[in-house]
Amino acid sequence: MNRPFHTWLTFGVCLAVLLGTLGWISLTTLRLDRAQTLAAIEAEKEEKVRLALWRLDSWMLPMFIEESARPSRAYQSFYGAQQAFSRGAKGGYASLKPGDVLLPSPLLAYDSPNILLHFQFAPGGPVVSPQVPEQSLRALAVANYINEDLLRLREERLETLRRFLLEPAPVMAAAGLRTNPPAPGWLGSSLRSPPVQLAQAVNYWNNGDVIFNEAPKQLPEELPLVNWNPNLALNSPAQPPAQMAQTGGQQEQQLRNTMELNVRDNFYQRAQSKVLENRKNDLQAQQEDLGIAAAQPVLPPGAAANTGPLEGLFRAVWVGDEMFLVRRVMHDGAESVQGCWLNWTNLKASLLETVRDLLPEARLLPRSTPTGDASARILASIPVKLMPGPAGDAALPLWTPVRISLAVAWGGILLAALAAGLLLHGLVSLSERRAAFVSSVTHELRTPLTTFKMYSEMLAEGMVRDEDRRREYLNTLCSEANRLSHLVENVLAYARLERGSARRQVEKVTLREIIRRVEPRLSQRAGQAGLQLAVDADEHALATSVHVDVSAVEQILFNLVDNACKYAAPDSVEKLIHLEALTPEGNGRHAMLRVRDHGQGISAEGARRLFTPFCKSAHEAAHSAPGVGLGLALCRRLSRSLGGDLRWVSGVKNGACFELRLPRAQAG
């Protein structure tokens, strides 16, 4: 009993160590896979955010280009033409003085759902709008360009705008103007005014002609502030160093976001500069067509007198909950601010609609002042932060290649452990059966050998002189010899079946022929136990043909009768052993032979191990009929090797009944 326990204990410990090691490796692999999956999801989310930011900035680009293309004079409701001619009475042309002819501003009749109002103001001056003409020009505008209702709406917006701009420092700072004194909180490191070099990169207007201080072809590459964005503090020395102390993926992501912002900001700076350059080229061509000499370049203030307007680039700024696009304009040494009041509600809806397929739950939040967070998802065109929303966070997939591999590995390990357990169970069971077999065979052989030795010595020494006693001893020796022969025959037959080397001589015979061959031997064995063999069969059943090895069938029937003689004879109510041939039902594939006795029968516990080989222990062998517990197991193996089966019929009372099924021979 100890050896199987030790074997199973060793197997359990080895299996626990194996599963524990595999579990630790699996957990580590799953953690790494989770980290990799999260990194991939984060990268995919950041890619969507990047595409969304490009879409949003690209959607804003036409508005910036359109507003940048407007000359500063367009911010007057009506402005005087610089060059105008009148037709004379005799077909000639006369040049008019500048200002004699008034031209309407394109903004007077301009209407956009994303822009509420265009405006301009000078430091300390009132806020005016080209879309709200002065009283002297109001009638002219209403009669020719706008209706009264639209004009009243714009007047209301202008009054609201003036209340917004009671403190114009934020707008002036965004446009690049310095207040005197500077407005605290707006001209610091967060929204600093551009350095002096900005004057070298702006466009000068002189009588309608655009003149650059540097060569136009080199302007986009030589702008010293091409990466400067007043809505960001990326270049600000006041940025806390602790915010740059990022490690690993966060630092890498921060660097990517910073580069992305610089690229998009560079893109917008170049786009606006290109618009001004194209406008300069167009006006030069118009002047050449009209034969007008181009004006001479005018240097920045402080270098020479300047009479033409100087226009900066548009910037976006928040004042409260409202957004404005503003730029700086210099004319005759005086500075002013021009810009437009954006309809943020409508603009935000339009922007979000462009990224609905990428980020369905995205939001746009104002950023009135920068935070120095380079990883923030902000637009380069306007001071707005993009919040991806829950749609940017994808759920972790249930099955990844690593998880599938681990599942397959675990399945293989568990199957291997199960196979090893079954194999070990088979080996332990085989070992136990062999031990039981050795014990049973030892006891089974001891009795006849003892009888052989005793009787042979008595006969050899002439101790038995009575002829009848001598004949009795010789019969006993013959019986024991048959018993040993039968035991050896069963063991050898079972060994051949186990090795698969059993040879069969299959032939087509009827049940009548099988019974005729085995009946004498079966009757003799029954007679030795004081029983009588009774054959019960009708002619139809006896005529049934089967395809079997007759010697194997004879061995099966003899073992069944031998068991009945050993176990049923002492308690048999009727001294009969029935051999029955049954008629197959319908076109059944099997013919049936039954061996039934009238002994005490088989208990439920005994029925469970009825066909188990070597199931008799030494104790059972010593207190029961002789045998090693191999007969029924051998009979079932033989019957199944013939294509049939052997079953215990449980419904029979007063005895045990076994049913042998044999394959029927095919007709013809």
Q: Are residues 441 and 331 in the same domain?
A: no
Is the pLDDT reported for residue 664 higher than 80?
yes
Q: Are residues 378 and 481 in the same domain?
A: no
611: CATH: 3.30.565.10
Residue 13: inside a domain: no
Q: Which residues pair with 84 in a beta bridge?
A: 96
Contact (Cβ atoms closer than 8 angstroms) between residue 374 and residue 234: yes
Give how far the C-alpha of residue 87 lies from the chain's centroid of Cα atoms, to the nearest Å: 80
**DSSP-based three-state secondary structure for 186:** coil
Q: Write the CA distances from 101 to 95, 144, 409, integer angstroms.
A: 11, 16, 89
Q: Report the number of distinct structural domains present in the chain.
A: 2
Is the pLDDT reported for residue 242 higher than 60?
no
Output the six-digit token pair for 296. Answer: 């001479």
Q: What is the 3 state secondary structure string of 443-489?
A: HHHHHHHHHHHHHHHHHHCCCCCCHHHHHHHHHHHHHHHHHHHHHHH
Is the pLDDT reported for residue 439 higher than 60?
yes
Q: Which of 11-20, 210-219, 232-241, 632-641 has the highest mean pLDDT?
A: 11-20
Contact (Cβ atoms closer than 8 angstroms) between residue 112 and residue 70: no
Residue 213: inside a domain: yes
DSSP tally for the chain: helices H, then strands E: 15, 20
Q: Are residues 420 and 344 in the same domain?
A: no
Q: Are residues 465 and 499 in the same domain?
A: yes
Q: Are residues 336 and 468 in the same domain?
A: no
Where a domain ends, among 357, 392, 427? 392
**Span 3-27, mean pLDDT?**
89
Least confident of 116-125, 324-333, 459-468, 486-495: 486-495
Q: Are residues 157 and 300 in the same domain?
A: yes
Please classify residue 395 by burial: count the beta carbons closer than 10 Å to its beta carbon, then call 0-12 exposed, 13-18 middle and 19+ buried.
exposed
Q: How confident is the model at residue 26 (pLDDT cuts 50, 70, 90)?
A: very high
Q: Are residues 589 and 450 in the same domain?
A: yes
Residue 32: inside a domain: no
CB atoms within 10 A of CB 89: 5
Contact (Cβ atoms closer than 8 angstroms) between residue 171 and residue 164: no
Q: Which domain holds residue 460?
A: 414-663
Q: Are residues 171 and 64 in the same domain?
A: yes
Compute the distance between CA of residue 98 and CA of residue 101 in angstroms, rounded to an integer. 7
- Only one residue has tokens 């309809």, namely 343
Compute the distance between CA of residue 172 and CA of residue 326 in angstroms, rounded to an integer. 8
Is the pLDDT reported for residue 350 higher than 90?
yes
Residue 348: inside a domain: yes
Compute the distance between CA of residue 636 and CA of residue 646 in angstroms, rounded to an integer. 5
Compute the distance between CA of residue 482 and CA of residue 565 in angstroms, rounded to an integer. 15
So what's the pLDDT on residue 308? 58
Give the chain's largest Cα–Cα span.
182
Q: How confident is the model at residue 408 (pLDDT cuts 50, 70, 90)?
A: very high
Residue 56: closest CA among 416, 501, 356? 356
**DSSP-based three-state secondary structure for 91:** coil
Q: Are residues 383 and 470 in the same domain?
A: no
Output the six-digit token pair for 354. Answer: 């462009």
**DSSP-based three-state secondary structure for 251:** helix
CB atoms within 10 A of CB 212: 19
**Span 177-186, mean pLDDT?**
43
Contact (Cβ atoms closer than 8 angstroms) between residue 121 and residue 165: yes
Cβ-based neighbours of 226, under 8 Å, separated by 6 or more:
220, 265, 266, 269, 270
Residue 90: inside a domain: no
So what's the pLDDT on residue 20? 92
pLDDT per position as a tens digit, 619-659: 444 444 555 567 788 888 888 888 888 988 887 777 889 99
Compute the distance between CA of residue 658 and CA of residue 654 in angstroms, rounded to an integer. 13
Q: How confident is the model at residue 501 (pLDDT cuts 50, 70, 90)?
A: low
Q: How confident is the model at residue 491 (pLDDT cuts 50, 70, 90)?
A: confident
User: Which is more confident, 558 or 186?
Assistant: 558
pLDDT per position as a tens digit, 505-552: 888 899 889 999 989 888 888 888 888 899 888 888 888 888 888 888
Is the pLDDT reported for residue 352 higher than 90?
yes
Residue 642: closest CA among 554, 569, 547, 560? 547
Residue 7: inside a domain: no
Residue 628: closest CA among 526, 492, 476? 492
So what's the pLDDT on residue 214? 32
pLDDT per position as a tens digit, 65-116: 888 888 888 898 888 777 777 776 666 677 777 667 888 889 988 889 999 9
Residue 19: inside a domain: no
Q: Are residues 288 and 428 in the same domain?
A: no
Contact (Cβ atoms closer than 8 angstroms) between residue 484 and residue 512: no
Where a domain ends, among 358, 392, 426? 392
Q: Are residues 332 and 444 in the same domain?
A: no
Residue 24: inside a domain: no
**Span 347-351, mean pLDDT?**
94
**Span 357-382, mean pLDDT?**
76
Give residue 624's identity as a one-letter amino acid code: S
Residue 613: closest CA among 459, 518, 491? 491
Compute the distance between CA of residue 642 and CA of residue 626 in angstroms, rounded to an integer. 28
So what's the pLDDT on residue 348? 94
Is the pLDDT reported for residue 217 higher than 90?
no
Compute the distance between CA of residue 613 and CA of residue 86 in angstroms, rounded to an integer. 130
Instruction: Give the whole-number percent of the chain exceeding pLDDT 90.
Output: 13
Where a domain ends, among 392, 426, 450? 392
pLDDT per position as a tens digit, 523-533: 888 888 888 89
**Span 211-219, mean pLDDT?**
32
Q: Are residues 362 and 449 in the same domain?
A: no
**Span 316-333, mean pLDDT?**
86
Please classify residue 11 by burial: count the beta carbons closer than 10 Å to its beta carbon, then call 0-12 exposed, 13-18 middle and 19+ buried.
middle
Least confident of 23-32, 251-260, 272-281: 251-260
Contact (Cβ atoms closer than 8 angstroms) between residue 372 and residue 233: yes
